[in-house]
Structure 1
């Protein structure tokens, strides 16, 4: 060995202790490429799908490349190209072949004849949809959930999208507004617009409106509405009327005739504005406000866990320009102190300012249960006198909320970056969302607040689906028109639409026609035995 080493001279055949990976890979890049080419282009006589064991082979593998494992698909494609028979491309399912190129324009086209709720796409996948009152509305869930929905109204919580109840705004002096509205009310039916508890904005009212006539006994009823007063700093009054879609057009036409309204403008948000010679302004807020209804004993639990109030500071003064911050802070504090044991006055109105509910979505559907706390009932009187400072009454704030909404895509990206799944998210620019909560007392019972008690939440229109999904994720069961009729039946309310009104007569004709067609469709003519 020594002779051999001496003959070799000064050559060193030992391996290096370290190598540079980039230099080593660059020197052998051609070898790697040749090896990959040999792997992808097999020279064997067997086809790609013939290399699989017999129990994994399928007859369609030679035509449908997706039947093969991923590691053999490219080899199969190359073999088919060499043979001059390229495999047929899969056209995809019929559902995606018929899918329009622009979904937004397609949805807009389909809403020309009937309107959609903002939660339509969510309901259409889970509910039986029907056309009613010019809308496409959810009738009932596709699953067998009649008993479950009833239990939700008695023991848990039922959520419904009531956005087909539209809002009309009247703005002007109190005397000019009441000079015409008093022609449409009857004091024999109960408290009217002039009631002090309603006029101050502490509570919302419910009454039946009538067509104006000389003789009060000859007047025909229009329907039942809800209304809410608000007062501006300059003494002008603002009245919100929540009108059912069945007689909404009749109501607007009657207002135009009474006040001598003339069309003023129509903005980009499809808000139609009228103005009378006396200075009264009417706005149709159909596309600006939506209503979500929560019914059941756990409604307050779901509200408090789904809605997180915001700590208002001076940096939020731009949005709260026409409001007093200290009153809004007090309102949020009273909402945080609410509990099941709280004695809430009937028809109470509560204004709060909350954060984006998507930031605290649970990872899966969770039932909201809160620990009982000591109720703080001393703040209700002070709270109710400050409702006029709700930012939702300001049109500028409503427009600002629509433009500042963060997209679902950005929320999903934040959720992906979250280190702990399920923890709350944080946004750089905090979004303030003012809401108005209307407390509905139920039938008088010994326990809780009575059957069908709950809250109506007035939200900006483009946020309705977000809040609706938040309530569903925190344990509320979704219902449709069937549940509305069931609740009215359990409350001994004969009809949602009065039978002696125009809307009630049209409803009866539609129901009669539906059952007549159903009866004659199911009954077949009898045949003679000899035939």
Structure 2
């Protein structure tokens, strides 16, 4: 075997490199690497970028939405979509498409028919807004806060925006007697004498509650309750001025009446008295509850330099005040405060350490002196009375943009900004008025400042209340409210008519087998009280006849198109459509009568509610009630109603439009038998008695609820003085004077009548 050949192999190069460097190797392969990168970068395969991912990382929308692709491959996916040219064009979101180009012009257009309060946007996000009295008003809260609001109205603080109340300013050129001449024509004599003799009211240190009537029509022709406030008159630099705050449902009638009285009072001096409408030129907030004063002190920062020294002294003396109940009723205090946004958010006041004994005693003595007699000099004159100062306070208000710019200019963040007025003043102040009202305050601020104060009050602990919550608070205390409990006024008739349409609509939504047959119960008008049954004499326009209720379903559908909306003056139906309904044979029904309510309301209402305090005091006790019944026998009193507060005995909750019936002798016998057999709290004081058509109707309930304070059903209603006199005479004949203030309460949807106890309400109507 021969050994290895000494000759080199043909497959090997002649010279073999002994050393190999990486740089030389890559330099020789640069072209190959560039070609490889080009091929990888411009991949022309059949798969998309998102298809290169594992299946568990893929998403359904990756094919048309490259932003769902992971970040490492997102750029390539975006290039694919751009190169394909079939990408979905960007569509404007629905929220932006619906957003108007000019938001303020859109708000102005929407608030053209129904006026918006300054806090409308705030309320619209949290409450149900309804068109009422020409405004958009918060009717109910969206949250379930009935119990918590009732608790806040007693132990906390509830705030209500009452800026829809209209303020009418009457100015006289010479003497304050001109104002009294105008006021005496629409205010009854028993109140005008009290007002003129009240030195606190004449001096302007307190406001008064009054009733407005048509001239020469008392006790008929009631318009509305009002608040009257006189400006502190010095006789030198000021003209006599008076504010009359009325409900928006009656402001047109009151304003036209005041203008007529002012012009016809003295034809030779037509310009002596000027009537101005300050609607929406001032904002009004109602604070109710034991913590109202504490929250108000947390929000307000009184400017000592611009406020009167007497007002500042009174405000400082109220620092230890726990509740406003001890203050003189309806006291007025004028202050000038700093912009609440400077100290926003306000810090609620906490219980601080008690001052030294001598200091505490001195403060308590000052507070007791204020509670005994409110000062009458220089504590109630406010710049809000002057139109120029009032407009200046609104026009010089700084915008949020300016405030934020000033905050950014501060060296230390978090400190309040240096607020300067636009004309160079050191601090921008706001004139306000504080009116003591019950267990709280009424805060009056100029226009444009409503939302600023509202936010501070809310953040500091105030619970926002709606219109229904305010009415519920009045009913829980068995106090009448306007216009819900003023049955002899036009606003009540409009509200009751609108509510009857709503109840009828809800009634006909149910199938016949699931709703109550009111025909079998002989109830002609289950949704609208028939006050003529209690008076005993017909109304000037009859409301009901014997018509089948099932025939009105088609009418309800038509009546919805013409529902009363615009300032409670709009007709429910056109004349042509009204004639079509008359041809269908439903003219006599209560709902058809509502179509011509505009024409009938022009006529005179043939009944009235007794509002004279001396007369109500006589009707409150059995002995004086019998004396009044024996002495007062006239045809006018037979058409009178008495407002009462009803409390259910033992159990039962009155429903809407509940009927109050006069008890019979057998009813009292059943009551005695039930009371003897078992205790009153456990006894059943209800039974299926005589049919409702056979009973004597005394009146109806206008407001009712289950009271959280007393734990039973309560309500406010009206009964006929004629029926009350008959019942009092019957109790005297059977020697049962203790039962003189008992009535039977019957709900429309039930055949059971329950005993209830009532008392005559001595308070007059309230706003």
TM-score, normalization by structure 1: 0.76
Relative to structure 1, is the Cα distance of residues 329 and 520 closer, same or farther in structure 2, using a 3 angstrom cutoff?
Answer: same
**What does 1:418-429 align with in structure 2 at a 5 Å threshold?**
423-429=415-421
Q: Equivalent residue for 2:338?
A: 355
Unaligned runs of 5+ in 1: 1-37, 263-274, 317-323, 442-452, 527-531
SS at match of 2:151: helix
CA contact under 8 A between 2:203 and 2:230: conserved in structure 1? Answer: yes
Which of 178, 181, 204 is residue 180 of structure 2 equivalent to?
Answer: 178
Q: Equivalent residue for 1:511?
A: 499
CA contact under 8 A between 1:299 and 1:454: conserved in structure 2? Answer: yes
Alpha-carbon separation, structure 1, partners of 2:489 and 2:324: 40
User: How many residues were matched structurally?
Assistant: 449
State the shift of 1:491 in Å. Answer: 1.9
CA contact under 8 A between 2:302 and 2:312: conserved in structure 1? Answer: no
**What does 1:47-446 align with in structure 2 at a 5 Å threshold?**
57-65=58-66, 67=68, 76-93=77-94, 95-172=95-172, 173-188=175-190, 192-194=194-196, 195-213=198-216, 216-217=218-219, 219-233=220-234, 234=236, 236-260=239-263, 277-312=270-305, 325-334=308-317, 336=319, 338-340=321-323, 343-362=326-345, 368-371=349-352, 374-375=363-364, 376-377=366-367, 378=369, 381=373, 383-414=375-406, 423-429=415-421, 430-441=427-438
CA contact under 8 A between 1:185 and 1:192: conserved in structure 2? Answer: no
Which of 490, 493, 496 is residue 476 of structure 2 equivalent to?
Answer: 490
Relative to structure 1, is the Cα distance of residues 349 and 78 closer, same or farther in structure 2, using a 3 angstrom cutoff?
Answer: same
Relative to structure 1, is the Cα distance of residues 523 and 356 closer, same or farther in structure 2, using a 3 angstrom cutoff?
Answer: farther
Alpha-carbon separation, structure 2, partners of 1:66 and 1:359: 45
Alpha-carbon separation, structure 2, partners of 1:336 and 1:405: 28
Of 405-414 and 223-232, deviating more is 405-414
State the shift of 1:78 in Å. Answer: 3.5
State the shift of 1:434 in Å. Answer: 0.9
Relative to structure 1, is the Cα distance of residues 209 and 50 closer, same or farther in structure 2, using a 3 angstrom cutoff?
Answer: same
Unaligned runs of 5+ in 2: 1-36, 355-359, 422-426, 515-767
Q: Equivalent residue for 1:32?
A: none
CA contact under 8 A between 1:361 and 1:422: conserved in structure 2? Answer: no
Alpha-carbon separation, structure 1, partners of 2:240 and 2:142: 45
SS at match of 1:406: coil
Q: Which has the higher contact order (CA 8 A, sep 6+)?
A: 1
Alpha-carbon separation, structure 2, partners of 1:253 and 1:108: 27
Which of structures 1 and 2 has the bigger CA Rg? 2
SS at match of 1:240: strand
Q: Does 1:481 find its partner at 2:481?
A: no
Of 187-196 and 469-478, deviating more is 187-196
State the shift of 1:88 in Å. Answer: 2.5
Alpha-carbon separation, structure 1, partners of 2:178 and 2:493: 33
State the shift of 1:479 in Å. Answer: 0.8
Alpha-carbon separation, structure 1, partners of 2:129 and 2:70: 42
Relative to structure 1, is the Cα distance of residues 59 and 205 closer, same or farther in structure 2, using a 3 angstrom cutoff?
Answer: same
SS at match of 2:231: strand
Relative to structure 1, is the Cα distance of residues 73 and 493 closer, same or farther in structure 2, using a 3 angstrom cutoff?
Answer: farther
